[in-house]
Amino acid sequence: MKIKNICCIGAGYVGGPTMAVIAKQCPQIIITVVDINPERINAWNDKNLENLPVFEPSLAEIVNKTRGENLFFSTDIERAIDEAEMIFISVNTPTKTYGKGKGMAADLKYIELCARQIAKVAKQDKIIVEKSTLPVRTAEALKSILDNTGNGVNFQILSNPEFLAEGTAVQDLLNPDRVLIGGDVGSNDGNEAIDALVDIYANWVPKERILTTKVWSSELSKLTANAFLAQRVSSINSISELCEKTGADVNEVAKAIGMDSRIGPKFLNASVGFGGSCFQKDILNLVYIAKSYGLNEVADYWEQVILINEHQKNRFSNKIVSTLYNTVSGKKITFLGWAFKKDTNDTRESAAIKVANNLLNEQALISVYDPKVTEERIYADLDYLNSRSEEENRALLKVDNNPYEVCENAHAIAVLTEWDEFKTYNWQQIYDDMQKPAFIFDGRGILDMEYLKTIGFECYTIGKG
C-alpha cells in the first residue's frame, strides 16, 4: 500500500518538525498538520518565518520550501482525517494533575479525544500511528475505542516513537540513529501497515536502521530510552556534588569514564538539572506502570533519578543564597537562559523555573534574558506554579531582551541554559557594570572561569571543587 495523504493531529514540537521533514523528503506525499489551537495553526502559516511557534535550527527553511507545496497547516481536523490514509497522533500527553495517578500517570484524555474523532469521521480503512510518548498498551486502548465507536472500517495501530531531541530536531529526523515501528506483526494487515510506514522512512533512512517490533516493545522502548538518558544525567549530577566536596573536577571524571567504550562519552555533562517535556514525564510514567504491577523495587529505582534531579536544582539555588552571605532578599540576580536547553524556545520542566521559584521565595529580584523565550512564556511558567500571585511574579521578576542591560547592577549572574552566545560576551564590560563582589554561578559549565577570575569575578561551576 502506497501512502499518498498523511494527516498529523497536533502541531507542536513533535508534530511540526517531524511532518516538515517528511514533507521535504517525500514530495509525492501530501501532508496536513491539524490542531485544535487556531493560534498555533496561524503561527505555522505566518508569512514571517520568525513567527513559527517552534524554534529549531533549519526548521524555518524547510517549512518555507514545503509549505503550500505538499505541507499544509489547518484547523479543519475532520477533513484532514477523512482524506488521509495514514494519521499520526502527536498530541501532548502531560502528567495527570488530578485523580488516580495524579502527578505520575500520563493524561490520555487528548489521545482519547483524537481516537473518538477519527472513529467518527473515518469512512475508509486507516493506519493510525502513535507518535506521542505513551504508556505501554495505549495502542490496545486506541484500538478498542476505534473499533467500538467507528463506522465498521478497519484500523491498524502502529507505534512509532519519536527520538528527536529539541534543538537538533531537524538533524535527528534527517539522520536518525534508528526508526522504531511497532505493530501487529502477527497478522497480514498488521504487516502491511508496518510496510507502508517503513516505505515512507525508506525514502531517506537506510533500511538497516528501521526496526520493526511488537507494539508493546516499541512503546516500552521509548520510555526506557528516556529513562536511561535521564539516568545518565542524574548519575553524573550526583557525582558533581561529590566532586565539589572532594576537590575533584566533574569534567575530568566524565572524560575518564566516558573513554570506557562500555560507558561512552555522550550525555555526561553535569548541569543544573535536566528538563524538557519527556524525561520527567516518561520516568514518572514508568514508575507508575511498575507500581501498578506491584513492582515496587523497580519503581523506587527509577524514581530516584527524578529525586536527584530535584536535589540538583535545589542545590544550585541554595548555593547562590549561601554564597551571597545567606541572603538574597532585595538583591538583583540575573538569569542567563530560561529554555531547558540551548537552541529551542521550549521551557517545559526547565530547571530555570524551579531555581527562580526558590530564589523568589527568598525575596530575590530576578532579571531574565533568553535569546528565544518570550516574556509571556516566562511569566506563564512561573504563574503555573501557583507559588504567589501573578502581580507578585511580575513585580519580583523582570524580563529583558538585552544581555548587557540585564546584568547591570546585579549582585550575581546565574547561567541556566548553555546558549553559545553567552561565551562570546564582553565579560569585562559586564563585570564593570555589576555590584561588587560580582558573583557568577555557571549551572552549565560553559564559561571560561579561569579568564573570568582574572577579571575579578567570584566564580562557582557545578562539579568543581
Q: Which does 10 bind (CB under 5 to 8 A by kind): ligand UDX, ligand ADP, none?
A: ligand ADP
Q: Using the rule CB under 6 A, is 21 a contact of ligand ADP?
A: no
Q: Is 114 a catalytic residue?
A: no
Establish if 258 lies at the interface with ligand UDX (CB under 6 A). no
Residue 375 marked as a ligand binder:
no
At residue 379, what are phi and psi to the nearest 5 degrees?
-65, -35
Residue partners of 300: CB distance under 8 A and separation at least 6: none
User: Is 414 strand, coil or helix?
Assistant: strand
Q: What does the per-residue mask of binding to ligand UDX show for 315-354, with x meaning CB under 6 A?
A: -------------------------xx-------------
95 marked as part of a ligand binding site: yes
Q: How far is C-alpha 94 from the chain's CA centre?
A: 12
Residue 370 to residue 12: CA distance in whole angstroms = 21
Residue from 66, 70, 95, 132 that binds ligand ADP (CB under 6 A)? Answer: 132
Return the number of the residue (169 or 446) whose C-beta is nearest ligand ADP.
Answer: 169
Q: What are phi and psi of 47, to 5 degrees?
A: -60, -35
- Any known ligand binding at 451? no
Q: Is 159 annotated as a binding residue?
A: no
Looking at the DSSP bridge assignments, the partners of residue 413 are 334, 440
Show the binding pattern over residues 162-201: x = contacts ligand UDX (CB under 6 A), - = does not.
Answer: xxxxx-----------------------------------
110 binds ligand ADP (CB under 6 A): yes
Q: Which of 15, 176, 182, 371 binds ligand ADP (CB under 6 A)?
A: 15
92 appears as a binding residue in the annotation: yes
Binding part of the chain for ligand ADP, among 36-44, 280-288, 308-316, 317-325 by CB under 6 A, reads 36-44
Choose between 72 and 338: whose C-beta lies nearer to ligand UDX.
Answer: 338
Per DSSP, the chain holds a count of helices (H) and strands (E) of 17, 14
Q: CA 171 to CA 158: how far, in whole Å? A: 24
**459 DSSP β-pair partners:** 440
Residue in 5, 25, 36, 323 binding ligand ADP, rule: CB under 6 A: 36
The neighbour count for residue 375, using CB atoms within 10 Å, is 15
- Whether the bond into 437 is cis, omega within 30 of 0: yes
Bridge-based pairing state of the strands 5-9 and 86-89:
parallel
Figure out which of the listed residues 31, 86, 193, 233 binds ligand UDX, where binding follows CB under 6 A: 233
Sequential DSSP letters for 68-92: TTTEEEES-HHHHHHH-SEEEE---
Nearer Cβ to ligand ADP (43/298)? 43
Among 40, 67, 315, 341, binds ligand ADP (CB under 6 A): 40
| Spatial CA neighbour of 341 closest among 232, 252, 267, 281 | 267
- Binding site for NAD(+): which residues? 10-15, 35, 40, 91-95, 132-133, 166, 278-281, 348
